[in-house]
């Protein structure tokens, strides 16, 4: 009886260890993804910044107003060439 219990307990620890290892793997993957995702977000930001600068220098921003739908929709001023928001 006691032996049986010990065996079950060992099996439990073994399986638990495997699950934990798997979870750690998933967590690491998630972190990796977040880091690379942040990287591409920064890149996109940089590209957009370049487009805004180029628009400003070459043609100059040309703002149009855009109002959100709904009763309390806010109005945004967006450049119609580069989508830069004032």
Interface with Zn ion by CB under 5 A: which residues? 55, 61, 79, 81-82, 84
Q: What is d(CA 4, CA 40) in angstroms, rounded to the nearest whole number? A: 54
- Residue with smaller CB distance to Zn ion, 35 or 57: 57
Taking the least distance from each CB to Zn ion, the nearer of 33 and 76 is: 76
Minimal distance, residue 75 CB to Zn ion, in Å: 18
The residue (of 32 and 62) whose beta carbon lies closer to Zn ion is 62
């Amino acid at each position: 009886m006691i032996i049986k219990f010990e065996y079950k307990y060992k099996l439990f620890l073994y399986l638990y260890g495997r699950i934990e290892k798997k979870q750690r793997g998933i967590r690491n993957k998630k972190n990796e993804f977040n880091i690379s995702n942040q990287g591409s977000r920064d890149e996109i930001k940089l590209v957009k910044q370049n487009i805004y600068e180029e628009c400003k220098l070459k043609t100059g921003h040309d703002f149009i107003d855009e109002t959100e739908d709904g009763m309390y929709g806010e109005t945004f001023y967006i450049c119609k060439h580069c989508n830069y928001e004032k």
